[in-house]
Structure 1
């Protein structure tokens, strides 16, 4: 077997498990079938809603993916790419506090009673780490620290079955314009971290909106849906990043340490060895100094072969079209409660080019999938949903969802606040759909 073929077989096997595939099909748009979905909404509101933004205290720059958690509960949300947040708290919780945290910044505790329904502005200050703190017991072998961290998942992470509620979103942009948006509330039947059993997913609610006029007569779809983000949970699925025996394919080194939630954190940089030809990863691991716990990871795929990369990610495409990824980036964040850590947020960003045989210029698209755990409880029975109720790994969420509805569609569920650009795109699409519906009558 040739070297390139061997690489393709090795890496494609990993992707089949993770199901991160693009499906491109020639688009045949029937406007009469693209109508906004409406649902009877329960007008009884049993929660208080708080909106606002989290920013850097010195620069006023937005802090992206900052966490807001209600103290003493499992309720949380994160900020969007513009620093905005939307937090929904049951009305029976009135005296609690909200803990706001962000990588490298000092936590801030805010009483719920001091938050307003809208226009809350929360500023965080940078946490300064003294070099003397991090030089006392720094291990000499970064690779050994990574191995120890992966081996301790049974001690440091949830050891009980857990039922999580999560918000999932897929966004497709053509250059800087949003062209498609799919969202869902899902249930994650999370198995213990020391268990070989895979997690199961169940779809609760889903919606979508697509501006077909910007899709170049090609419909782009992401196969795998929420599984694409679930498998970024490195501590549960280390084989997708560091497969058995593959740690030796990387070099590990210590970067500048930082703080998360007032904890001292080692920053471990890892890079694919130059002698390794298979496309692997480069990035950073954030490891708690005291407990040897992975708290976050940010990394990207090393794309060196355009042809191979295309075959790895593109499941189907029309004739006369070349498609290849130019960037594939991942992120995962963990949260802690009661001395145990658990999966809290992950994202996958895929940027790619579409080159038409008969066109002078190519098109640049980016696709983002992200999932945030917004609540959880112990799954006392340990039971999983029936097979017919589970989300299949081959799911294409945009085919399962129906359309955007009343803003109260999501009710009491915490979601990631839409970016202003996405919000305006949705409103524009909704106006177009209403005009189409009127014309079809």
Structure 2
């Protein structure tokens, strides 16, 4: 059976040096954290949106966020949403104070009829895709997004790439692919932590964009592949203020081709897919390597440890839009004459920070990039703290912030880097 695979490609190659940079502007940074009201657990991936706008961001892996708004604007109210929690509106009183947001779990008690209304879980999933034209935007949309790509050698940050991108999101009924242009970007790598081997992701921002299941179902649920999955009803929860059914899926036991297992979060009222989490079945390691490892030294052994994805959608005026996605790729690398294996993890995520309907005559600004882009090959680096200006970003983890500062100090002593800045 032939099936598609998400177009991520891992490159294992010897090191090279990149570099370059851009401008600055002033906006108010509003910082905060989101936790469970009772357990005090941090909430990862909670969405924070400025009320009555399309401006939003998400919490990082430590539950922190930062969102920007114009200095001259009135103090905003924030809408905070998280899976399994009641939506919350926060009025900002003092933007200089860090917000400590506590969310209350929602109680769900769906009527049994809402589950047994469908012949099977697979039948429900089919209806979700059948209703794509009704539930998802049928207009061309311009989206601003923040993209981050990190590579870790075990727990140490080795490479960081970040970009503000503009996306021309095609209608969900269209066969046309989305377009991406690069607005601002920065990148650097500490090769001493990579032990002469660097992982590079082919696709950059497209690697996260293609996780949009409703726009690109062919990468997972091709018509041929649908019959190769077992679908089942799972728990119920609350998401974006709506009751959702969770459908679990996994490959049939007799399927050899690597397929995915995961969960689909489906609204009970309009049958829209609000969220999906899934990972690749890694049992057939040789086939997995063919899919992901495009280039490596012949004497290096590579084995996938984890290949997983998340995608989130947001609703406005009865239509759903792509909002956030993340890919996590983890590999063991065994070099000749080395006693221990090296563990490398590459993560990339993209969050939509603003969007609007795009007139047909308007073109994307910035440099339009190809789906084959490798961010690690771009000549970009780190510079001033106001680099991003008005653009919203995902708050970096503490460990990433520390790594950035170390890389900045190294670059300040680097003659080639200083020369590249003076020439810009």
The answer as to whether partners of 1:161 and 1:382 remain within 8 angstroms in 2 is no
- TM-score of the pair, normalised by structure 1: 0.90
Counterpart check, 1:80 vs 2:37: no
Normalising by structure 2, we get a TM-score of 0.94
Q: Cα offset for 1:174?
A: 0.7
Quote the offset at 1:40 in angstroms.
Answer: 4.7
Q: 1:19 to 1:109 in 2, by over 3 A?
A: same
CA spacing shift, 1:96–1:50, aligned 2, 3 Å: closer
Pairwise CA RMSD: 2.0
Which one of the candidate residues 382, 401, 405 is aligned to 1:423?
401
Separation in structure 2 between the aligned mates of residue 436 and residue 391 of structure 1, nearest angstrom: 29
Measured after TM superposition, the shift of residue 318 of structure 1 is 1.5
Specify whether residues 381 and 439 from structure 1 end up closer, same or farther in structure 2 by C-alpha distance, changes over 3 A only: closer
- Name 2:24's counterpart in structure 1: 41
C-alpha separation in 2, matches of 1:340 and 1:439: 47
CA drift of 1:333 comes to: 0.2
Number of residue pairs aligned between Structure 1 and Structure 2: 417
Whole-angstrom CA distance in 1 between matches of 2:39 and 2:249: 30
The match for 1:193 is: 172
Partner of 1:165: 144
Return closer, same or farther for 1:408/1:440 CA change in 2, 3 Å cut-off.
closer
1:111 aligns with 2:91: yes
| Within-5 A mapping of 1:229-248 | 229-248=208-227
Alpha-carbon contact 2:21-2:380 (below 8 Å) kept: no
**Is 1:228 the equivalent of 2:207?**
yes
CA distance in structure 1 between the partners assigned to 2:228 and 2:23 by the alignment: 55
CA contact (8 A) 1:200 1:384 kept: no
Does 1:404 pair with 2:382? yes
- State yes or no: 1:217 paired with 2:200: no
User: Would you say 1:134 and 2:111 are equivalent positions?
Assistant: yes
Shift of 1:180: 0.5
User: Which sits farther off after the overlay, 375-384 or 303-312?
Assistant: 375-384
Cα deviation, residue 197, structure 1: 1.2
CA change 1:227–1:86 in 2 (3 A) is same
2:353 aligned with 1:374, yes or no?
Answer: yes
Structure 1: runs of 5+ lacking an equivalent: 1-6
Give distance in 2, aligned partners of 1:290 and 1:381. Answer: 32
Q: Counting helix residues as a fraction of each chain, which structure ranks higher? A: 1
**Unmatched runs of 5 consecutive residues or more in structure 2:** 420-424
Q: Which residue of 2 aligns with 1:146?
A: 125
Alpha-carbon shift at residue 136 of structure 1 (Å): 3.1
Which of 50, 72, 77 does residue 97 from structure 1 map onto?
A: 77
Question: What do the CA deviations read for 1:46-69 (whole angstroms, capped 9, x no partner)?
Answer: x32201111111121211110001
